[in-house]
Structure 1
């Protein structure tokens, strides 16, 4: 009798409506969904492909799941080191068997490396991305990036945290201007030098919201952006390094005057404790998902 009741209970789970299963599956992490629930029975396998489950692919959270399983984490690190395995490409290959082209948001792990062709690999499988966060270390050729962003015609928000590590180079914003006409939100964490500021001003005229949170900036470059980005409405300069070092008060006055045309101009108050911590890599890794402009939070 007990065995019969157990069989009936299992059967009830199998016959749950797919929409109900999708609500339940939304509570699971990616590993439990793809490696666990989807393999239980045919109806659960089909429900795991529900488009509503795959609006966002966050590879950073996938990394946290793996860290929680210590043996798997250790084996993955050894495998990656010995055999040069690209773990994020492997993850995307597997995840897109379930998501297909449904995802609209794609977030890479901030501290990961991409090899040449990785971003194009993602763009070919996920052409409908509207919000994208790229890793800080991009080992991508100009040709690969040109082809990748050529497929992301719907891209509206880009978050790029770029440091000039060995073998990496400055991100060329021309590729965005030539391919992403719907791009209105840009967050850049890095060193805003003259070359980058000039590229932004020349190629990103559609930008309405710009965050330079935690970047190294100068008054000249910020003034260049405010003056030349005709559609700019919101600018975030919180926790930036360099503005407080400006000694030319005429430049500071000009910056304040230029910023008065914006709908919103975000800066830090004096004595901001966060500004004292921005040199810490762990602080950037922890907070680059947050921003005073809600469009950049993820």
Structure 2
């Protein structure tokens, strides 16, 4: 019988394009050791196709909630682990990251954020839903470096103007904002004054003041998409005012103002699980109690994180689309 020669290749001899397609299925935690196997594998792990989005969704801090600012204590091992992951990712990505996603329970420090901002100069989208340990100076310096930033997911903060002012000065293409927490007149005023060209705004699962909603609808002429699904809508002076009253149904005057929008999304259904959770949590969603992917949802497709755009119940969400 004639000898048959094998045409198979060793792993390190595989075409780079093939390796890249395989490595695309791995997350950052898995990709880090893979990149250390050999030169060809490290080259594949540095391919630009792998690094448009850097999703740290699997990485959480070991933390304890505290009563004093910053209301979070994080152990040193979590900080060291985050530092190691960031060093590997920044080395492999070679400045090609355009979308950066952090877990809701990943609490970084100024040093981490500064390290990232220096090495991701072309960032267009940032999902940073918690920044207890980041200072005002830390976030402002990062935004100054991200002049191509277009989209931000951020937590509620007591004094939002300084962030909006920094975005106004440095991010000329900024058009999308998602706020996770409370949305009051301070937030509405800061947005209108500094980013009046905002096109997409989501405050889903927020404690929303009716006065702030009306103000946004009245003055934000370039706004095209607004999502207030599952919001805890209050009528009164502020989210902390004892006399505030919950609004259980949108008034016709509000719906009339939204008619100019291309897309308006809202949900106040007693059968909606998310609305039920908002009521149980008294308007301040306790994300840590629920599914790990729950905070990643959004009814606005461009703000939903990859793979989680359509997990909500369409029948319980009112969507108004206009030509």
Indicate which of 41, 45, 61 corresponds to 1:44: 41
How far apart in 1 are the matches of 2:58 and 2:81? 14
The answer on whether the counterparts of 2:147 and 2:172 sit within 8 Å (CA) in structure 1 is: yes
Change (3 A) 1:156 1:84: closer
2:145 maps to which residue? 151
3-state secondary structure, aligned to 2:276: helix
Change (3 A) 1:248 1:226: same
2:297 maps to which residue? 290
Change (3 A) 1:111 1:63: closer
How far apart in 2 are the matches of 1:220 and 1:252? 13
The CA RMSD measured in Å over matched residues stands at 2.9
1:76 maps to which residue? none
Q: Give 1 or 2: higher strand fraction.
A: 2
Change (3 A) 1:83 1:54: closer
Question: Which structure 2 residue ranges, 5 or more long, are not aligned?
Answer: 63-73, 236-244, 306-323
2:207 maps to which residue? 216
How far apart in 2 are the matches of 1:84 and 1:12? 37
The answer on whether the counterparts of 2:231 and 2:268 sit within 8 Å (CA) in structure 1 is: no
The answer on whether the counterparts of 1:114 and 1:139 sit within 8 Å (CA) in structure 2 is: yes
How far apart in 1 are the matches of 2:100 and 2:248? 41
Q: TM-score, structure 1 length as denominator?
A: 0.81
Change (3 A) 1:38 1:86: closer
Q: Give 1 or 2: higher helix fraction.
A: 1
The answer on whether the counterparts of 1:277 and 1:283 sit within 8 Å (CA) in structure 2 is: no
1:28 maps to which residue? 26
Q: Does 1:113 align with 2:107?
A: yes
> Relative to structure 2, which stretch is displaced further, 274-283 or 43-52?
274-283
How far apart in 2 are the matches of 1:188 and 1:209? 11
Deviations 1:199-240 (A, max 9, x none): 011111121110000010111001111112121011000010
The answer on whether the counterparts of 1:123 and 1:152 sit within 8 Å (CA) in structure 2 is: yes
Question: Which structure 1 residue ranges, 5 or more long, are not aligned?
Answer: 67-79
